[in-house]
Amino acid sequence: MMAKVIGLSTMSDTVAPMLSVFPSRALVDENFKVVVENLPPGSPVTLHSLHQCEDKHYWEAYGHYISNHRGTVSVTDDLSFGGTYTGKEAMGLLWSMRPVPGSREGLRLRKRNVCSPLLVNISVYRGHVVEGFREQAPLASSLTERWYMAPGGPCFYLQVHYLKNYFLVFFSFCPFPGLLDVWGGGGGLVEYRSALLGSHGYASLALEYFAPGELKSSDLEFNYFETAFNIVKDHPQVMPDKVGIFGLSLGASLTLLLAAESSIIKVSDILFVLCVCAIKIGPLTHIGLFYKPTLKSFFLVISFKVGRINCPVMVVNSHDDQNMATVESSEDMAQMMRAAGNLHLLTRLYYPDAGHLIEPPYTPHFRATKFVKDTKEKVILLWGGQTKPHSDAQEDSWKKILAFLEQNL
């Protein structure tokens, strides 16, 4: 599908500028092409994107272009000379998004309702504009839809005893490989990565597990994750010998703990994909309160057992992670696996100048955001990373993660 919108006839007396986006409806990890036609040759224009999130905050990105001798601008093929991104950046109108001037500090863009799309309005303006976009009339505009869950895919919630989660499947006569999707220390139910994984053919369960005071004992905590894993494995639309765990931040640590400690999960039958390796935590005690900045105590728990892992592992590391010592952690993990003779199972990806929050591609970069500590105190937490290299890392790592899943699941 391609959207074409005729703009105001302000730059030409005969033909109005035309902006097209193809495809205008796509998954969030798919590229699009933005083209403006019918401009006077050599005209300075600004391409601008605007999104209002579910919290009613506005996010924007923009690039400055000059039309070619045919009166055309292609965001994919042409250079941006300024704005929130520069150079030849096909998806710069998405990954360089930031809160509009005057917004609250520490915002983070996250999709809650994955059954509806992210709506992004893309417009072209006369001249090289840097502010006040909503106070000006664009030459042309087009509304695009960016989906985490492919349109038409069913989703439903499960309530299993004390286990609350979100489970995404697609109608098919064939079973799917399964994934348990475990997020980090921010807590809550985070669904959008599972929805996107589901759109790529995986039955993915997004697990809500972190809420202060919700779980009371370490035995219950461990059973919680084993129960979630078994829900995926035992589902009739899941291949029971093709189930993996996808962990980010604290979730990455939990995947290692499950591999090292669980008597229910057979590590030879599962796959671990760790977006950020080995958060600084201690032994699991009270799940709502175990955010402990003690890297060494965590490794004392698992160091002698990492060698037991007998399945493919991918670790994604960011060198500018200001939240955790992820690079050092993965180096320790590699040494342990080398000593156990299973280093060949470990794949490590390194990204200079990327920060802690490696998300699906074209997600805006957040160097620091608001975070609620286990004491209920609200702080600004530094994640790290520089916008362009971080965005490149998200795009590259996602392609390699999908290829890794395809190969192993």
How many C-beta atoms lie closer than 10 Å to residue 278's C-beta? 25
Catalytic residue among 249, 329, 330, 391: 249
Q: Which of 202, 284, 296 is nearest to 250 (CA)?
A: 284
The answer to whether the peptide bond before residue 175 is cis (omega within 30 degrees of 0) is: no
Compute the Cα dihedral for 181, 360, 277, 334 and give only its sign: positive
Q: At what angle are helices 295-302 and 326-340 packed, to 10 degrees? A: 20
Assign 3-class secondary structure to 169-228.
CCCCCCCEEEEEEECCCCCCCCCHHHHHHHHCCCEEEEECCCCCCCCCCHHHHHHHHHHH
Q: Are 282 and 322 in contact (CB under 8 A)?
A: no
Radius of gyration, CA atoms only, the chain: 23
Residue 249 among the catalytic residues = yes
Angle between helices 218-234 and 250-261 (to 10 degrees): 90
CA distance 77 to 335: 44
How far from each other are the two terminal CA atoms of the chain, in whole angstroms? 32
State yes or no: is 57 an active-site residue.
Answer: no
Cα–Cα distance between 232 and 229 in angstroms, integer? 5
Q: What six digits make up the tokens of 279? A: 């958060």
Among candidate residues 220, 211, 235, the one with its CA nearest the CA of residue 161? 220
Q: Which letter does DSSP use for residue 250 in this model? A: H
The answer to whether residues 331 and 299 touch, using CB atoms and an 8 Å cutoff, is no
Catalytic residue, chosen from 51, 64, 356, 365, is 356
Q: Helix, strand, or coil here: 141?
A: strand
Query: Contact at 8 Å (CB) between 146 and 9?
Result: no
Q: Is 321 a catalytic residue?
A: yes
d(CA 145, CA 229): 33
**Active-site residue (options: 78, 181, 320, 321):** 321
Catalytic positions are: 249, 321, 356
